Amino acid sequence: MKQPIRKFKYLDPAILQKVAGIDLKARLLVDGLYSSRHRSPSYGFSPEFVDHREYAPGDDLRMIDWRTYARTDRLYVKRYRMESNMNVTCLLDTSGSMAYEPQQKGRLRKLEYGCYMAAALAYLVLRQQDSAGLITFDTEIRGFIPPSQGDRHLFLMLSHLEGLQSGNQTRLGAVLTRMVSRLPRRGIIVLISDCHDQPEDVVAGLKLIAARGHELILFHLLDHDEVVWPFKNLCTFRDLETGASVMGDPVALRQTYLDRLSAFTSAIEQGCNTCGFDYRLIDTSKPVEDVLQGYLLMRGGRVKT
């Protein structure tokens, strides 16, 4: 795949350099019609021979094994394993909570972090001759770019990422439920979100995705402040999605907050584990390139080719 002809904000060369040469592979068989690196459950023309079956009227005569016919006087056709291209769709959260402003100046907001991840993954997927798509959401699906291939498609996705603004509340569970009708073909869904919804609703959506045969990777983004709770002075906390605010002593609230955060992330992770999905809790103080490289290397070592 050619390098982009103009500079895009979220297509960071440092990130691309880190993930260069690493493929995102499907763990399950995928459906498709195009040549790539992923085995398909279908049979057809391919260099990989599988077995024979008896000839049936209507079979392509080019598939008859005439050598076998000469030995057995019976018609058999060769079967080959088709290889398939893979659909990879990034599902990016653009709700209000993704706009949290970190205490440390210069650190990426969660939405910016997610955009860098989505851009790098789209570039990676298209480079390996697979199809990339993008869905953005808050309370509902706000943008949908169906999976496709080519430089122009990549530019479309990158331009869409640059125009994103955060707002509204999160209805992740409902969005996951609606999303499956937009993606009738099985593939990989990369969910990038802080998952600010009721865990039981999120898990219900995950189970529906699993039932439809999709594979899902969840990058659960939390700002470093959300992970460690560094606040010391009496202050007012405002919900970025509802606008509600409350004044409190952060020191007194810290342990209660951390306990609830642990229970929340554990419930989401357990839901992913139940469905056979990958879950990664991401602290946004970690460089995007290190997070992606570490995950892709781990996945590449686990997935059998």
Q: Where are the domains of the chain?
A: 13-30+85-302, 38-84
Whole-structure pTM value: 0.81
Q: What is the pLDDT of residue 6?
A: 62
Long-range contacts of residues 105-112, Cβ cutoff 8 Å, at least 24 apart: 107/223, 107/224, 107/284, 107/285, 108/284, 108/288, 109/166, 109/223, 109/284, 110/194, 110/221, 110/222, 110/223, 110/284, 111/164, 111/166, 112/10
Residue 28 and residue 26: Cα distance in Å, rounded? 5
The amino acid at 68: T
Q: Which residues pair with 136 in a beta bridge?
A: 92, 143
Of the candidates 218, 220, 151, 148, which has an alpha carbon nearest to the alpha carbon of residue 183? 148
Question: In the structure encoding, which two tokens stand for residue 140, read together?
Answer: 């509902």
Q: Which CATH class is domain 13-30+85-302?
A: alpha beta
**Strand, helix or coil at 215?**
strand
Q: What is the pLDDT of residue 24?
A: 87
Q: What is the pLDDT of residue 126?
A: 92
Residue 213 and residue 210: Cα distance in Å, rounded? 5
A 10 A CB-CB count for 244 gives: 9
Q: Are 111 and 167 in contact (CB under 8 A)?
A: no
Task: Give the residue carrying structure tokens 């021979």.
Answer: 49
Residue 274 and residue 49: Cα distance in Å, rounded? 35
Q: What is the pLDDT of residue 303?
A: 58
The amino acid at 96: G
Residue 144 and residue 165: Cα distance in Å, rounded? 15
Considering all CA atoms of the chain, what is the largest pairwise distance in Å, rounded to the nearest integer?
89
pLDDT tens-place values along the chain, 305 residues long? 555 446 899 999 999 999 988 888 777 544 443 334 555 544 444 455 667 778 877 677 877 888 888 888 889 887 655 445 789 999 999 999 999 999 899 999 999 999 999 999 999 999 988 999 999 999 999 999 999 999 999 999 999 999 999 988 999 999 999 998 899 888 999 999 999 999 999 999 999 999 999 999 999 999 999 999 999 999 898 999 998 999 999 999 999 999 999 999 999 999 999 999 999 999 999 999 999 999 999 988 765 54
Q: Are 90 and 134 in contact (CB under 8 A)?
A: yes
Q: Are 292 and 15 in contact (CB under 8 A)?
A: yes
Using CB atoms within 10 Å of the CB of residue 157, give its burial: 0 to 12 exposed, 13 to 18 middle, 19+ buried: buried
